[in-house]
Structure 1
Amino acid sequence: MVENKTPEHLVIEQFGAVRRITITNPRKKNAINLQAYRDLANQISAADQDDSVTVLVLTGAGDFYSSGNDISALLTSERSVEERLESSHASLARMVKAFYSFSKMLIGVINGPAIGIAATTAILCDVLYMEENAYFYTPFTALGLCAEGCSSYTFPKLMGTSKASEMLLLNHRMSAQEALQFNVVADLFKRKDYERKIWPRIQQYGLLPVGSIKATKQLMKKFDLDKLEQASKAELEALAKRWQTEEAMQAVMNFMTRKSKI
């Protein structure tokens, strides 16, 4: 096993042909800040170009996969709103594209709650395994914002219009059992069984011929890539507009106030 802890909130490990990226920001429940956006994009792209990697695994440290976007870091920046939005949206676009353009096997191990951008990008993975007490939560309208991470396309495609609308418009919290029912994840696991059942299975995937994986994945996604690109672009344009509305800023401030009282 080779380990590299260079990125501040990511741990990178290699097990044979399997590389694992673990999001680790325990003080903020593995929230993803602007630098983490960039680091994730860099690491996913690097794994795609590295001949030693067949399978890339994404997971979180501790009890959370990720609590999503670190909104507090965005709000406390000293730069102007326009500068903050331009920088964050460019980094977000690059990270999201790294997910949907990854050419090898991309596996998400959802070890705990996945919220906001963490949930939407996780669903861009090829295969998801989910801890039985974890959940997906996309409170975009509660924040006065809108869908992101290609979820305006992927959620209806995976779940159907009604469940996707419940998630993206009504802030429904999807349990692991629901995620399995709606074909969002491949399998559930108990936390105590991860090292014994799920991880050995993933390591076996690393022995598969990478060229075969890439060829088949390319066929499976042949008609999706353009739609994902279009969805990401449209979402970012809408998100930029939403961030500049009084409605969104008030909703975000209300959310942060409620959060601080928990």
Structure 2
Amino acid sequence: MSSPYKYLKIENLGKLRKITISNPKLKNALNLQAYEELTDGLNRAATDDSVSIVAITGDGDYYSSGNDIKHFLTVIDPEKELIRANIVLKSMIQSFYTFPKLLVCVVNGPCIGIACSTAALCDVIYAVDTAYFYTPFSLLGLCAEGCASYTFSRILGKSKANEMLLLNHKLTAAEALQFNFVAKVYTKSELDTVLWPKIREQSELSRESICVTKKLQSKFDQKSLETACDAELKELYKRFSTDDFIQAVVNFIQRKSKL
């Protein structure tokens, strides 16, 4: 299946649809177009009867380095772009937590920022042993996004969630397994030989049965996720005009100029 997208690769493996985030020159960083493509990719898969499972992964050595800050520095009208970004980002986040089928995240490398937050919205996460999960929101003068203010404490417990969300802790793959953030850890070489064949085999399970059980599990979560998403985006919009964020952008530019 050829991909109609610029930043995604789409591959059908039987009833498994593999979505690969592909912006390798920028470590699979996500810009607004990538948000829109992910939203469209998930929404299309949700209504495609030939698809039982969707698995998202990254191209190369990174799952995703998170938001493409450089992209936002080049816009002509930052205020207008922020308004658009909030709308586009909300749609993408919703496409994750409303996805009706089994949604698997295969974290093939570092998973940062919004990529990490949305990974937590997937039903199952698998990771390679060299991966880590990182949400440097306070380092950037921002706040939690992608429903992380709700999901992280439920998955990790309050203390470890706060260490990540407030103190910029990098959660290693081993820690992620220990704290139930991922289901299993694989070596890089096992991705093609063990994990992808396993997920393809899982795609032959009863889709209807999986969807019903998932719906039952998420019945009471949907409203909380919606509330968290709206509250986070409201605060995130405010944070973009703060001195903390502006200084973080200046620091980013300075680091890039030295490379």
TM-score of Structure 1 vs Structure 2, range by shorter chain: over 0.9
Structure 2 CA distance for aligned equivalents of residues 167 and 119 of structure 1: 11
1:224 maps to 2:221: yes
- Aligned to 1:4, the other structure's residue is in SS state coil
Q: How much is the aligned-residue C-alpha RMSD, in angstroms?
A: 1.0
Cα distance change of structure 1 residues 154 and 261 upon mapping to structure 2, 3 Å threshold: farther
Cα distance, 1:247 vs. partner? 2.2
Q: Secondary structure at the match of 1:231?
A: helix
SS at match of 2:189: helix
Percent identity between the aligned chains? 51
Q: How does 1:88-167 map to 2 (within 5 A)?
A: 88-167=85-164
1:17 aligns with 2:31: no
One-letter amino acid of the counterpart of residue 119, structure 1? C
Q: After superposition, what is the alpha-carbon deviation per residue over 1:110-146, rounded to whole angstroms, capped at 9, x for unaligned?
A: 0000000011001110001000010001001100000
1:33 equivalent among 15, 31, 34: 31
Q: Which runs of 4+ in 1 moved over 2 A?
A: 255-262
Structure 1's unaligned 5+ residue stretches are: none
Change (3 A) 1:256 1:171: farther
Match of 2:49 among 48, 51, 76: 51
Distance 2:102 2:253 in 1: 36
Give 2:70's aligned residue. Answer: 72
Separation of aligned partners in 2, 1:256 and 1:155: 30
Secondary structure (helix, strand or coil) at the match of 1:136 reads strand
**For residue 71 of structure 1, what is the amino acid of its counterpart?**
I
Does the 8 A contact of 1:144 with 1:252 survive in 2?
no
Tell me the TM-score normalized by structure 1. 0.97
SS of the counterpart of 1:183? coil
Q: Which runs of 5+ in 2 are unaligned?
A: none
Q: In structure 2, give the amino acid aligned to 1:121.
A: T
Distance 2:257 2:176 in 1: 29
Q: Is the 8 A contact 1:64 1:112 kept in 2?
A: yes
Residue 10 (structure 2) pairs with residue 4 (structure 1)? no
Asked if the contact 1:11–1:21 (Cα under 8 Å) also holds between the matched residues in 2, the reply is: yes
1:222 Cα offset (Å): 1.0
